[in-house]
Structure 1
Amino acid sequence: MIASIIIAYIILLQPLASPPVRDYHCKDCNVILVSLDTLRADHVGCYGYERDTTPFMDEFAEDSILYEQAISSSSWTRPAHASIFTGLDPSEHGILLYPRSGRIENDSVTLAGVLRDNGYSTASFNGGGFMNPSNGFDVGFDVYESYGRNFKNNIKASKEWIRDKRGERFFLFLHGFDIHRPYNLFKYNRFINYSGDYDVLKSCRPWDNFPSDDDELDYLVSQYDAGIYYVDLMMRDFMEFLDEEGLMNNTVVILTSDHGEEFFEHGSCDHVDTLYDELIHVPLMLRIPGYGGARVGGLVPASTSIMPTILDIVNASSPLGFNGSLLRFVNGRPAGAVHVLSETAYRPNPMHKTRQSWKSLRTSSHKLIYVEGVNFTRYELYDLIADPGEQEDISLTDKGSFSRLNDLMREHGFSVPEPEDTDLDDETVSQLRYLGYVL
């Protein structure tokens, strides 16, 4: 009896065995990267949204690695996608100042280029506009085409290209603007009945058609949600196609977004202008064949980590290595990044040369924002645990957190590149005006 007790006691004293570290690599698998432009994380069901906007994506998440706190490098299309394609922060790749600034240069090391060098056929079917090849997003792609902002048309072209590449390793970048303004997918609005006369097609820009009451705001948000629901339907159709083609067992699929959308959480709507979480907290899910779902709760950089993560998963030879791969967080060691940087810069009046530059440094518990404009600078600090909506600036009261985050921000420097303005061709200007941009 005493011997049994002693043995049991010794067993209890032994350290608990760590769970086995899973190998999430999928060497030589196909890769499909899907960017759902303007999708904020908190309007996705598996990220906690109460409306049933994403029934398919919620199912997709069950078999994927879902990163709960994925933060974009910027709050508008060009710099965020440039980070996705190069793995660099906006101040490094130089595409930052809205609306015209810089391009991905032809000799840049890009995700598509590295995969092509590793024997992949590469193609993109995208929504055009800021994603047009004049901005350098075609670097490294064998095929780079836009069939308009509509996701459905670009999915159709993607299917045809995939069938043509049967038996070859391929990388596909798929993108669409259906969630973006103008919120015109009325027949997919399952979320609210509205009988007023608010013109949602003219909402938010040029900043003179804001909702006048809660009913109009609810209607505006419901139209945004209708776009999400529509894209979710299109994604279900596309994934069913992959299954029918027998590609699910050898294809890695990544779902993400470049930025979110504001609906007056901080006094305005649309995107570009700020770095609050409604604009930079984005969904990020990785589906790797042969592995079930997992949720990573820690903070991670969304945009800059996609390139090294994909190259790591497929074990591609890369001149940049895999530094920054998100696979290191999957097994909980470490739980997440220490901090994530985001940047944006824009001209408040497109006719003038004046500008505002924003930079944020976000940790798991706090966010420091630095704003630099003409003849002024401003800091904002938020406790994201007590104040997740970022409504109470504590930069003057929490000196310890302010000093710690400000030191980290200074280590990274703060500079906005000054490239020559990039001329936009007539087709790009027309596409951007349709999306509601003032140029």
Structure 2
Amino acid sequence: MQVRRILPFAGLALTACTGTPETERPNVIYVFPDQYRNSSLGFWSDPEFAAQVNWCGDPVSTPNLDRFAREATVLSEAVSNCPLSSPHRGMLLSGMYPERSGVVLNCMSERPESSLREDAECIGDVFSAAGYDCAYIGKLHVDFPTRNNPQRPGTYVSDAVPEWDAYTPPERRHGFNYWYSYGTYDVHKHPHYWDTEGRRHDVDEWSPQHEVTKAIEYIENRDSRRDSRKPFFLMLGINPPHSPYASTEDCDLEGYELYKDKSLTELLVRPNADTTMAKAAAARYYFANVSGIDREFGRLLRALDDAGLTDHTIVVFASDHGETMTSHSTSDPKNSIWRESLNIPFLVRYPGHVPHRVDDLLLSTPDIMPTLLGLAGLADRIPASVEGRDFSALLRQDAVQPERPRAALYLRNLDGERDSAGMVRGFFPEARGLKTATHTMELAIGRDGTLKRVLLYDDVRDPYQMQPLDPKACPELFASLCGELAVLLRENDDVWYRERVLAEWIPYDKEN
């Protein structure tokens, strides 16, 4: 089967004024390194945090994030519903699932139908309309690359075939008035960026270090980079620890010193990790970048302190998806329902408003936009197009809180068919699944629409997902999870629901 994007719908904003005066609204900083798995946070090895989960943390050094976690609410079960860079970012920016955001696959020049909708009302649009100065720094990766190179008009931004990187012109920046960004380019020590005016900057510096420097300059308002009369919203999309991670040319050297002499069995401590795989050696470089990002995050927090803005700034540390790093003997770092790929960091600090604790909320990616707007006092401005839910009351621990989700949806899409020009048309919805508080399940189909695979795990008894359950041996559990999946697919008007995929197992029309 092959699917085309459904027709977009209007994203009308609710325009009632917020109850929070503009002068009292907090600043918001959202930091999200790419491919950073939740277990790669040092504090999960601390007894306070380890007691909240039933899996072990990686042996990483992240002292700044450890301190930050003790001042924040830490979500242990945040989910990247479609754990790929572009689909996650489309959901993050728009609050909509991939079919509605427009980003169903990773964006590149052979996938013209996967690109963030120009008419989507995104998080930057809302903050900007609410009187915020908005900045985007780093990796974006939600645009279909076109021949719009500002340095060489009429060409792509490089001669790569296919082209993955992209220049985002002003009309596609969705409310961000300060711009220092690129599409996707995996050369960590020689990155490049386009600024607000479209000028290209080629840099010989490890990209997280350079990007944090630019973020600090924005926070400090060097050369009047922002309107100091306004609160600010800053998104910082860091590329590492995303691949490549094969040598010291790919990683932070200071971080590498912490891991270079450790054996692979000392580093890959998850019992489902396969240390015999060639990729296993990448753990040293991956963890080196994790520690380097921690150092740069600490530098960002100190700049906030020095500017006297800490108490009035919401800071979030998250990621777009995880990294398997040889778990389950797979070489694919992402795009799977396994915990190492699906589960992402999500730490929120807002002094005096969000208390320190660990919470197992099943936060989905489309929930992030409305939750941030709610925390900033802009709940009344959440667009009607948003499909996620505002969990700001839960983070604040208000007396009245929203109902917790029973499950989070999982999606995996593949390329549709190619046309005569070699362009991908539509997409193939290979797998759908869900994560609950106790179980994980994936149903995958072949191109003919028939069931190809079922993955079913008891995450309480089998936290590393090493012993898949046979659905035939637990029919009541399987039926119950299929019922929950039907609810999620129906609520999201997913293509599986519309086409009644695997209707013999998934009770789409049953009232739940």
Bin for the TM-score computed over the shorter chain? 0.7 to 0.9
* Deviation of the 1:313 alpha carbon: 1.1
CA distance 1:336–1:226, shift in 2 (3 Å): farther
| Residue 337 (1) aligns with residue 410 (2) | no
- Match for residue 130 of structure 2? 118
CA distance in 2, matches of 1:27, 1:365: 41
Letter in 2 for 1:386: R
Question: SS of the counterpart of 1:71?
Answer: coil
- Matches for 1:137-176 after TM superposition, within 5 Å: 138-146=173-181, 148=191, 150-162=207-219, 163=221, 164=224, 165=226, 166-176=228-238
Question: SS of the counterpart of 2:77?
Answer: strand
- Match for residue 243 of structure 1? 305
Question: SS of the counterpart of 1:180?
Answer: coil
CA distance 1:335–1:319, shift in 2 (3 Å): closer
- Match for residue 31 of structure 2? 34
* Deviation of the 1:344 alpha carbon: 2.1
Deviates more, 1:287-296 or 1:344-353: 344-353
- Match for residue 19 of structure 1? none
CA distance in 1, matches of 2:91, 2:296: 26
| Residue 107 (1) aligns with residue 119 (2) | yes
CA distance in 2, matches of 1:230, 1:260: 17
* Deviation of the 1:243 alpha carbon: 1.0
Question: SS of the counterpart of 1:36?
Answer: coil
CA distance 1:68–1:335, shift in 2 (3 Å): farther
CA distance in 1, matches of 2:72, 2:303: 18
Letter in 2 for 1:369: E
Higher fraction of helix: 1
Alignment size in residue pairs: 379
TM-score (norm 1): 0.77
Question: SS of the counterpart of 1:265?
Answer: coil
* Deviation of the 1:130 alpha carbon: 5.2
CA distance in 2, matches of 1:309, 1:326: 5
User: How many percent of aligned residue pairs carry the same amino acid?
Assistant: 22
CA distance 1:220–1:137, shift in 2 (3 Å): farther
Letter in 2 for 1:401: L
* Deviation of the 1:129 alpha carbon: 4.8
Equivalent position to 2:61, from 38, 47, 53? 53
Question: SS of the counterpart of 1:80?
Answer: helix
Letter in 1 for 2:406: V
- Match for residue 9 of structure 1? none
CA distance 1:104–1:74, shift in 2 (3 Å): same
- Matches for 1:167-206 after TM superposition, within 5 Å: 167-183=229-245, 184-185=250-251, 187=253, 188-189=255-256, 190-193=258-261
Give the CA RMSD over aligned residues: 3.2
CA distance in 1, matches of 2:263, 2:468: 38
CA distance in 1, matches of 2:301, 2:87: 28
CA distance 1:289–1:295, shift in 2 (3 Å): closer
CA distance in 1, matches of 2:475, 2:288: 43
Equivalent position to 1:298, from 337, 360, 374? 360
CA distance 1:27–1:310, shift in 2 (3 Å): farther
* Deviation of the 1:216 alpha carbon: 5.4
CA distance in 2, matches of 1:246, 1:293: 20
* Deviation of the 1:167 alpha carbon: 3.8
- Match for residue 384 of structure 1? 459
- Match for residue 253 of structure 1? 315
Question: SS of the counterpart of 1:337?
Answer: coil
* Deviation of the 1:102 alpha carbon: 2.0
Equivalent position to 1:262, from 321, 324, 330? 324
| Residue 415 (1) aligns with residue 481 (2) | no
TM-score (norm 2): 0.67
- Match for residue 392 of structure 2? 327
- Asked if the contact 2:251–2:285 (Cα under 8 Å) also holds between the matched residues in 1, the reply is yes
Equivalent position to 2:91, from 83, 89, 92? 83
- Asked if the contact 2:94–2:121 (Cα under 8 Å) also holds between the matched residues in 1, the reply is yes
